[in-house]
Amino acid sequence: MPLDTSTTYPLTRLRLDGRRWNELRLLQAQISTNPASSGSSYLSMGNTSIMCSVHGPAEGRRGDGGSAGSGHAVVEVDVNVAGFAGVDRKRRAGGSDRQSSRIATTLRSAFQSHLHTYLYPHSTISIHVSVLSADGSLLAAALNACTLALVDAGIPMPGLLCGCTSGMSGSASTPRDPRHDELDPLLDLSLPEEQELPSLTVATTTAVPVGENNMDEDEEAMKVCVLTMESKVHATYLETMLAVGIDGCSQIRELLEGVIKGSRG
Amino acid sequence: MSSQRQASSASQVPHLSPAELSYLYTSLSLPKNPIRPDGRSPTQFRPLSAETTILPGTNGSARIGFADGTQAIVGVKAEVEKTVLAADTLDSRSLAQHGDALNREGEEGSAAVSGQGEWVQMSIEIPGFRDDDALPVFLSEMMRESLVGSVAGGDVDGAKEMAGGLKGRLVINKRWHWRLYIDVLLLSQPLAYPLPLLSLTTHLALLSTKLPKLKSTGEEDPFFDDDWAAAEYLYPRSNTSDPSLSAAPSYPVRPPVTLLVIAVGENVIFDPNREEIAVADAVLAISVTRSSDSETLKLLSIRSIDPPSRLTQPGIPNSENVNMIGATAAPGEESGGQEEVEGVWRPRRGGVKRGVIARMVKTVLGKGGVGEEVLEGLEGVEVQ
């Protein structure tokens, strides 16, 4: 089924949900939602809503093997997509599915290297992510929710880690036409867009200032720390998508900072 | 092996010493007025916050959070499914009645076809447990069976759709029916036995559940109204806007509520926390619902739950303690060490007096009892 966007978008420049190409969905977030955990957050981007809770840093489980005995904290991530999250109720054949385990792996590797884990040797930081409602950009929303929960838990990190998706509408599988140089990138994809269009998830963070020169820079230097793409796109479009995604990340960063500072973003 | 035993038991045993357990047991079993660790009265529940219709993508949803931070979210989703005809299909006579009922009332006439219990599916997610672990499976089956088993008697106003209970409500016509998926999500590790939390949340979610309004009639393939505002509640409400009748229950039929009750000595204690369960003589899960034709509550099921006090470590009386021999007066009198010694903890071996069970049930069901109090409290939660 072709997406309506592909027929109407070139004419109206409005997406299915009425957004323009560079608009984010409504992002709402809260921190400290669950008093039983060290840190917790609730984040919704459009119809995607996620609850995240962090336990720890705490003593790792015994029998964990050599990993807990190292000089760094170990980040554990558990992602659970609720059965009622999608449009149709998902039938699960026991255990976890491919999508949630892939998100969990990405989150784990992102935060394992992002957090200052060396401050908590021999300990475990466990993150539990529950997806209550899934409408695209799951990984990006999970990254943002985890960041908020980790901030709430007071775990030191060099900067906020903010994720966003970007996609490319039009015939993205053919190389770009140099004479007809128009690109249709989209920011923050919803589920129908994500299913139809090539999309990538990018997450950025503030780069740690190294050396004397970086200390007096006005503009904060951004560093891409997560980049995943699960669909095909011609290499010529990648740069634009990446640029749009990074721009979205900095918009989300401002919103998340607003949430943390108490004024709801 | 030991972890599996713990999972199937009422909850993880807290790390309390035999002396602490004994102290707790003694204060909870004080005749007439037990002293609970958090100062509640025996029938008092922990404070909770609740909200409903929180997830737009579900037919009904609810969230309940206890003050200690344990939270549960329940989402109910319904799907239309083709009924596989059973051997006992209706004869033409009852089919004609079915049609008559439809013509007369323009309603679903679900009384003519009986539903099946397997149309309601329940799954419980508890962090740290697999889907097929004993605890989630046992809990979901315990809650599902009382849900499916609750059949409303009689047809008082508004209860006509619910004549066959929840099962009957799910029937669309002879060939189609609703399938109800109830997904329970516990958001944190259970601090106490999560049954009351899950049951109350499920109750609220079911009360807020709406099904699209049926437009087709009779044995046609089902066809629904697009307008979600026209959707009908799964559990119908009596639409009495008259404020003078506000005392009457606004739901003629309600989903059952399962309460956790423990007995310590002669005392009956409600909504126990983890420490209290650890010294219980007996743990019962009592399911009640309001029957439509009478004011009183109806008992649906009682299940006993393996009390975790069985797994605790016993204390050693001074008379048996090797370090204390010589300090006590007469060590030789002690026989097998099986009898109770004042102030020394013995793991409970199970068993409870019939009188205590009778009192447990009476406290739940009685006029102005705990069951009514809970149902009234839940009614107070705004269900839009």
B256-315 pLDDT tens trace: 888 889 888 888 998 888 888 888 888 889 988 876 666 678 888 888 888 777 777 788
Long-range contacts from A232-236, C-beta under 8 angstroms, 24+ separation: A232/A173, A232/A198, A233/A168, A233/A172, A233/A173, A233/A198, A233/A200, A234/A172, A234/A173, A234/A174, A234/A175, A234/A176, A236/A175, A236/A176
Is pLDDT at A155 greater than 90 in this prediction?
A: yes
**CA-CA distance, B307 to B11, in Å (whole number)?**
8
Interchain pair A84, B69: CB under 8 A: no
The mean predicted confidence, pLDDT, of chain A is: 83
Least confident of A45-49, A64-68, B5-9, B157-161: B5-9
Contact list in B for residue A87 (CB cut-off 8 A) is 57
**CA-CA distance, A112 to A123, in Å (whole number)?**
12
pLDDT for A80: 86
Q: Flag whether residue A63 sits within 8 Å of chain B, measured between CB atoms.
A: no
Q: Flag whether residue A89 sits within 8 Å of chain B, measured between CB atoms.
A: yes
pLDDT for A29: 93
Is pLDDT at B121 greater than 50 in this prediction?
A: yes
pLDDT for B195: 87
Contact list in A for residue B56 (CB cut-off 8 A) is 47, 133
pLDDT band at A61 (very low <50, low <70, confident <90, very high): low
Q: Please count the CA atoms within 13 angstroms of the CA of B36 that sit on its side-chain side.
A: 25
Interchain pair A82, B183: CB under 8 A: yes
Interchain pair B185, A80: CB under 8 A: yes
pLDDT: which is higher, A65 or B380: B380
β-strand pairing of B176-186 with B71-82: antiparallel
Is pLDDT at A136 greater than 80 in this prediction?
A: yes
A166 near A200, Cβ under 8 Å? yes
Mutation pick from B63, B71, B202 vs chain A, by most beta carbons of A within 10 Å, is: B71
pLDDT: which is higher, B292 or B148: B148
Contact list in A for residue B189 (CB cut-off 8 A) is 36
List the single residue in A with minimal CA-CA distance to B129: A95
Mean pLDDT score, B206-211: 89
Q: Flag whether residue A128 sits within 8 Å of chain B, measured between CB atoms.
A: yes
A42 near A29, Cβ under 8 Å? yes
pLDDT for B343: 75
Interchain pair B57, A47: CB under 8 A: yes
**What DSSP character marks residue B314?**
P
Least confident of A47-61, A82-96, B1-15: B1-15
Interchain pair A36, B185: CB under 8 A: no
Contact list in B for residue A80 (CB cut-off 8 A) is 125, 127, 185
Could you identify the residue written with the tokens 């010529």? A236
Mean pLDDT score, B59-84: 87
pLDDT for A64: 53
pLDDT for A255: 93
- pLDDT tens sequence across B162-196: 566 777 888 888 888 888 899 998 887 777 788 88
For the purposes of burial, counting CB atoms within 10 Å of the CB of B23, is it exposed (0-12), middle (13-18) or buried (19 or more)? Answer: middle
Interchain pair B56, A82: CB under 8 A: no
For residue A96, give both structure tokens. 């976890």
pLDDT band at B98 (very low <50, low <70, confident <90, very high): very low
List the single residue in A with minimal CA-CA distance to B183: A83
Return all residues near A156 (Cβ < 8 A) that are at least 6 apart: A115, A116, A119
Is pLDDT at B245 greater than 50 in this prediction?
A: no
Interchain pair B75, A84: CB under 8 A: yes
Domains of chain A are 4-260 (3.30.230.70)
pLDDT for A4: 54
pLDDT for B86: 56
pLDDT for B13: 62
- Convert chain A into a string of H (helix), E (strand) and C (coil): CCCHHHHHHHHHCCCCCCCCCCCCCCEEEEECCCCCCCEEEEEEECCEEEEEEEEEEEECCCCCCCHHHCCCCEEEEEEEECCCCCCCCCCCCCCCCHHHHHHHHHHHHHHHHHCCHHHCCCEEEEEEEEEEECCCCHHHHHHHHHHHHHHHHCCCCCCCCEEEEEEECCCCCCCCCCCCCCCCEEECCCHHHHHHCCEEEEEEEECCCCCCHHHHCCCCCEEEEEEEECCCCCHHHHHHHHHHHHHHHHHHHHHHHHHHCCCCC
pLDDT band at B75 (very low <50, low <70, confident <90, very high): very high
Is pLDDT at B352 greater than 50 in this prediction?
A: yes
pLDDT for A138: 93
Domains of chain B are 1-46+256-321+339-384 (no CATH), 50-242 (3.30.230.70)
Is pLDDT at B17 greater than 80 in this prediction?
A: yes
Of how many residues is chain A composed? Answer: 265
List the single residue in B with minimal CA-CA distance to A94: B131
Using DSSP's 3-state secondary structure scheme, residue B334 falls into coil
**CA-CA distance, A169 to A160, in Å (whole number)?**
29
Is pLDDT at B143 greater than 80 in this prediction?
A: yes
Percent share of chain A, pLDDT over 90: 41
Contact list in B for residue A135 (CB cut-off 8 A) is 57
Closest CA to B313 of B345, B361, B350, B280: B345
Least confident of A60-64, A70-74, A213-217: A213-217
Give the CA angle between residues B322, B327, B329 to the nearest 5°.
110
pLDDT: which is higher, A62 or A258: A258
Interchain pair A84, B127: CB under 8 A: no
Is pLDDT at B155 greater than 50 in this prediction?
A: no
Q: Flag whether residue A35 sits within 8 Å of chain B, measured between CB atoms.
A: yes
pLDDT for B246: 44
pLDDT band at B234 (very low <50, low <70, confident <90, very high): confident
pLDDT for A50: 94
Contact list in B for residue A92 (CB cut-off 8 A) is 131
Q: Flag whether residue A49 sits within 8 Å of chain B, measured between CB atoms.
A: yes
A·B CB contacts under 8 A? 75
pLDDT: which is higher, B341 or A81: A81
The mean predicted confidence, pLDDT, of chain B is: 76
A204 near A225, Cβ under 8 Å? yes
Is pLDDT at B248 greater than 80 in this prediction?
A: no
pLDDT for A52: 93
A45 near A249, Cβ under 8 Å? no
Interchain pair B188, A84: CB under 8 A: no
Closest CB from B69, B185, B191 relative to A130: B185
pLDDT for A213: 53
pLDDT: which is higher, B11 or A126: A126
B191 to chain A nearest CA, in Å?
9
pLDDT: which is higher, A88 or A68: A88
List the single residue in A with minimal CA-CA distance to B190: A36
Is pLDDT at A265 greater than 50 in this prediction?
A: no
pLDDT band at A245 (very low <50, low <70, confident <90, very high): very high
pLDDT for A105: 93
pLDDT for B380: 76
Q: Which residue type does A105 have?
A: T
Q: Do the interacting molecules here have an ipTM over 0.90?
A: no
